[in-house]
Chains A and B, each alone.
Chain A
Amino acid sequence: MNNSRALLSIFIFFVAFIAISVRLFNIQVRDHDKFKYYAERQQNRIYPIKAERGIIKDREGKVLAYTKDDISLFADTRMLTKSRRDTLASALSSVFGKSKNHYYKLFDSKKGNVLLEKKVSRVESLLLSDLVVDGFFKTEDYTRVYPYGKLASHVLGFVDQAENGATGIEKQFNDYLSGQDGRLLVERDALGRIVTVNDALTVPALTGAEVTLTISQQYQSILEEELEKGLNEYQSNSGVGIIMNPQNGEILAMASLPNYNPSSYSQFSNEERRNRILTDTYEPGSTIKGIVMAMLMDEGKVNPNEVINTENGSYKFLRTRIKDTHAFEKLTVQEVLEQSSNIGMVKLSTRIDDNAFYKYLRDFGFGNTTSIDIPGETGGRLKKPDEFSKYTKAFVSHGYEIAATPLQVITAFSAVINGGILYQPHVVKKVNSNVNNEVVQFDSKKIRKVISEKTSEKMKNLLIGVVENGTASLARLDDMLIGGKTGTSQKLVNGSYSSSEYNSSFIGFFPADNPQVICLVVIDSPKIGRYGGRVAAPIFKNIAERIIESDINFSPYRKDIKRKNETNKDFLIAENLETENYVPKNEIFITANYSENSKEKEVENYSRTTMPSLYNKSIKESITRLTALGIKYKIKGSGKVIDQSIMPGTKLKEGMICELVCSSEMVN
């Protein structure tokens, strides 16, 4: 009945069918990839898994820094309904013991995300695992922990909020320590809830590498404690100390006071966070005399026994006046070093030409960074030969017109006593990486040969003399022979040398005949004392004694050293040694008593192989001496020695017997 309208209807069906089919084809076949991408993008989420930061250990494996996987709790207050707030507040207050009102106040404090609890431990957060409230969420909030607090803070450095190393080893080895972040691929439903985890596309995080330092926690704490004590005793605000193995450049301890706690770094000032050892240069003062002496000797320009006119303590050099603290008329080269005579050094420095002088200092590492594996190092200042004035060598030779970091000084000094090799100082021994299971070893790195072994050997003995006979007597140890050099330099304050502020330093090494440890102590502007020998040397002594006591490796080197009673005002001046056997292997220099104020030089030169003079000594002291030498004795009379059967200077042989004649009457 309605054919035309039926046909129209069929036409409409046809159009509808075609329209829908075309549409379906477009969506499902032509644009399939696009919609598939949309679907996956909204269904799948990639969550980064933060890799745990690697640990830092000391050389014995003690953990100096690790990461704790804490969790922080947040709430989006916009999503919190009345009932959710109640649930949340009561759950949190039962776990953390705070009042519910505390949390209500937090909820009201602002719109949006509110921090409820910061850095809650994993265990505590497990108590909340059943607490599922919309608008309440947890985020991993790692904490870097430094179990020893401030210990070695300047070596370790600290990490910023984002767990990236900001200074120190944390920064230098950040790539190793931070590991490799993983990712978790999850499917989420329309409400964002995680439904499934796609294992095939999930990559676990790899914990960061384990970094082992050359630092010894034991040495480090000794160094820090003694340095701290020293700062209190001599009333100084800051000081640094470095302990290093001179034979390979491994830093065993490195302390810069004041220091800071890396886990709460933001509460400390830049002053406290600065690693002065690397960043602060100073004019090394007399400690550099050991280095200048080494170059002069290496060049063959000096003879240790040569006598230098030290001008009674005041010498006009060109148009300036050089002064010695203790005036001497004449000193041997050896004594110039022992007494730290500026005049002697100024005179000697003229013997070497500018270029050689510069080259040696350059070779010792001055004017250049040491390339230690801690960031932020400065290179100091060393004048080039064309910048030299007529005074430069003279001033550099007693420690001015040159600026160096404490690290440069100890590195250079190591080369003086270790056979002449300059090593690159380093604090990282090895890195065990989890990422590709590789172990990176950081071996000691020789940079160059600076002086000959022979020179080094001579210098070692000269420096032993400094401690035994010279300015560093307060550093002497009872049971081990050490060498070293004091240094006292006026500080540059506002462009001119201050007469009240000094850098007091001492650098020493032990055991003297096979140096295993070299240690530099620099105290900035002590109010009590002034000279390196008075301030830094005793601190060094305390450090050295405790290290030797605590480290079993030193026990073979420990022996009883018999010295003349230090309180004894009596003295003998020993004969000068022959030039040829200037430094016999087993020679010991003993100072009777050295006082900085005394104008007299009290030196006794005592050899194991020759008979000492016991004239005017007490019986007790004489017996001690002879026992040490292995000489049997007979004593006649009492009082002080007036005669001896073996004449002083006689070569000693085994089995000799010495007869001492004593008298209570003073013989003068």
Chain B
Amino acid sequence: MKVEYKLQDKFDFWIFGALILLITIGLISIYSATVNHPTAYGNFQKQFFWVITSLTVFIIVYYLPQNLFRLIAIPSYALSIILLIIVLFAGKTVYGAKSWLDFGGIGFQPSEFAKIGTMLALSYWLTYKKRDINNFKDILIALVIGFVPIFLILLEPDMGTAIVFMAITIVMIFWSGISLFSLFVVLSPSIVIFASLFGIAPLIFVLIIIILSLFYFKKDIFTSITVFILNLASAFFFDFVFNLLKPHQQKRIESFLDPMADPLGSGYNALQAKVAIGSGGFLGKGFLQGNQTQLRFIPEQWTDFIYCVVGEEFGFIGSILVIILFVVIFIRLLGLANSSKDEFSSLTTIGILAILFAHFMINIGMNVGITPVIGLPLPYVSYGGSSLFVNMILIGIAFNTYRNRRQHI
């Protein structure tokens, strides 16, 4: 059946418009943060070059045949794992994490590429021959697919990216129709880990809640005990991971809990970001007028702390605008995932949404002081070629789905 579609039926102008606006805001903010900087003054031009490159790649991905993604799912995942292993040996250490690979002057992060691979592999596995998602073995395999890269990334160690992979895995399993109990089994360990951050008392409190929930689900005694032990183990596992973290990362987690304890040390960035955003006020100080930014109180502000340039120079209005643009993208992606009749496409879209949302929440959260400072860029806004490149490929995949969504009716 051949139907002539209008362009707006094949191309989501809402997302694209929001995307272009975010990229523009990003370029403006990068310009402001680096124009007076002694070493980073060329970053605006570099980022502009990456914007053009990424948009080209986006167009290419948009026009790729839809089946291709299913075909390359397993190879790209395998390549991701190989690269993640290579980087542990041959990688370049940046900000305490061995996360960069150099290819003749062009550096890139395998963990960025692995987002695509993992997301595709999970989509592939979860839609493979109508899997029973509540089958314990199938869930376990899905979890393994997700946790192999997480484990490798934690070895770098790159906490922020690892969290993104957790989000991808859990959200995709959730979206593939897992039962409430299974979701509880998957999610409860992360709640336990989070509670353990705050000390022994909250941890015991959460463990008691988990025991009560297990009574509510009325599963057999063996399953219940297994789930509880899994939770306990995850608390210990986290302790193990916490000790794997570099001291500066541990400090960051600790300083999130009490940023004022060490205002000049690890809490410095969080505090300065808040001061920058807060001093911006309702309308902001104006382009190039943000003293916190221009006086370089926040190191490397054009990467993870780009949002406080917006907050300081464009105020509450500018900050809210960025949030709204992201929410527009999220809701459109969710609508696409929800309306897509092809399960693989639906899952890839939801995976993309999970990646973007995780970045968004953690980055904005650490800028405004509601999540710990774990280095993650703000998609499309922060400076960084490989991040922008991968994010444009991701949105290209989503647009590809959008272009082809009618074919599955």
- B369 / chain A contacts, CB cutoff of 8 Å: 23, 27
B-binding segment of A50-58, A187-195, A337-345: A187-195
Question: How many chain A residues touch B (Cβ–Cβ < 8 Å)?
Answer: 35
B370 within 8 A of A: yes
A35 pairs with B331, CB closer than 8 A: no
The answer to whether residues A21 and B177 also contact, given A29-B281, A189-B295 and a CB cut-off of 8 A, is no
- B294 / chain A contacts, CB cutoff of 8 Å: 195
Closest to B365 in A: A20
Closest to A12 in B: B357
B368 pairs with A20, CB closer than 8 A: yes
B297 pairs with A20, CB closer than 8 A: no
The answer to whether residues A28 and B276 also contact, given A16-B361, A17-B323 and a CB cut-off of 8 A, is no
When chains A and B are docked, how far (Å) is the Cα of A36 from the Cα of B174? 43
Closest to B343 in A: A1
User: What distance in Å separates the Cβ of A438 from its nearest Cβ neighbour in chain B?
Assistant: 41
A28 pairs with B282, CB closer than 8 A: yes
User: What distance in Å separates the Cβ of B358 from its nearest Cβ neighbour in chain A?
Assistant: 11
B311 pairs with A43, CB closer than 8 A: no
When chains A and B are docked, how far (Å) is the Cα of A43 from the Cα of B370? 25
A17 pairs with B274, CB closer than 8 A: no
B296 within 8 A of A: yes
Map CB proximity to B onto A14-42 as digits: 1 under 8 Å, 0 otherwise: 00110111011101110110111011101
Map CB proximity to A onto B277-299 as digits: 1 under 8 Å, 0 otherwise: 11111100000000110111111
**A-B interface pairs (CB < 8 A), number:** 114
B297 pairs with A36, CB closer than 8 A: no
Closest to B327 in A: A17
CB contact between B320 and one of A16, A21, A188 (< 8 Å): that residue? A21
The answer to whether residues A190 and B295 also contact, given A10-B331, A17-B323, A24-B316 and a CB cut-off of 8 A, is yes
The answer to whether residues A43 and B338 also contact, given A1-B346, A28-B311 and a CB cut-off of 8 A, is no
When chains A and B are docked, how far (Å) is the Cα of A19 from the Cα of B364? 11
B282 pairs with A13, CB closer than 8 A: no
A24 pairs with B275, CB closer than 8 A: no
CB contact between A39 and one of B292, B299, B327 (< 8 Å): that residue? B292
Interface of A is mostly: helix
B242 within 8 A of A: no
When chains A and B are docked, how far (Å) is the Cα of A39 from the Cα of B357? 30
A43 pairs with B323, CB closer than 8 A: no
When chains A and B are docked, how far (Å) is the Cα of A191 from the Cα of B281? 25
User: What distance in Å separates the Cβ of A266 from its nearest Cβ neighbour in chain B?
Assistant: 40
- A42 / chain B contacts, CB cutoff of 8 Å: 275, 297
Which of B295, B315, B361, B364 has the most chain A CB atoms inside 10 A of its CB?
A: B295
The answer to whether residues A190 and B297 also contact, given A21-B320, A28-B315, A38-B275 and a CB cut-off of 8 A, is yes
Closest to A39 in B: B279
Map CB proximity to A onto B293-315 as digits: 1 under 8 Å, 0 otherwise: 01111110000000000010001
If A21-B323, A29-B281, A43-B297 are given as contacts, then 16 extra A-B residue pairs at C-beta distance below 8 Å, sorted by A number, are A19-B370, A21-B320, A24-B316, A25-B316, A27-B311, A27-B368, A28-B277, A28-B282, A28-B315, A29-B282, A38-B275, A39-B279, A39-B291, A42-B275, A189-B295, A189-B297
Question: Residues of A at under 8 Å CB distance from B?
Answer: 1-3, 5-6, 9-10, 13, 16-17, 19-21, 23-25, 27-29, 31-32, 34-36, 38-40, 42-43, 187-191, 195
Q: What are 11 pairs between A and B in contact, CB < 8 Å?
A: A6-B334, A6-B335, A10-B334, A13-B357, A24-B311, A27-B278, A32-B281, A35-B275, A38-B275, A39-B292, A189-B295
